Structure 1
Amino acid sequence: MAPARVEENLKSIVHLVQQADAAAILIAMPEVSLAGPLSDHPLYARAAEATGALLVPHAVSAVLSDGRLLADQVHPNAEGYRELADALTKQLHDLGVLR
């Protein structure tokens, strides 16, 4: 799917969540890359800024950029999932979502 369409779909989903009087949290996903460390696709930051959703950046990209944390080229191994869970928990605490 084209990134512009993904971004518009995310904005629509966030608006539905907000209409239900719930907090919308976007977890940034990496931009597709065949070489080097991954980085977050910029559409997540744009969608969060446009909608007021909370953004959790870098967690997925960091895990998927570390070969020690991968089961294959696109999936974390058990340690990778632990690292991802720890990173998400920390960032959600920092955002005030978790206590």
Structure 2
Amino acid sequence: MNNTKVQNPEKQIPTTKSMNDRDFVNDMLATEKYLSQSYGNAMNEASNQVLYQDILHIFEDTQNCQRDLFNLMFKNGWYSLEEVSTQTSEQSYQQFQQYKQQLPTQ
């Protein structure tokens, strides 16, 4: 089975020099992804539990916003996924199982 794209019909947008809906949503998605990574780093560095909890709540909100933007892009056909065969998926699973076995046990 060949890899095929999983995508909704693309919502047409005007092609102009100005930013369109797709451009704005794509920019917001990239920003939310960056913020999620940054909040993750901040949580790793937080030495105060109250501060950690505050950042965690903001991180969760940011992750939810990122997911909503991804869903919006996918719904409008502006984001596609690659469908893989069961065999490819199983090969990846086996590869990571081997990696897992190489980790030290407690």
Higher relative contact order (CA 8 A, sep 6+): 2
**Which TM-score applies when normalising by structure 2?**
0.27
Q: What's the TM-score, normalizing by structure 1?
A: 0.28
Structure with bigger helix share is 2
Report which of the two structures shows the higher radius of gyration computed on alpha carbons: 2
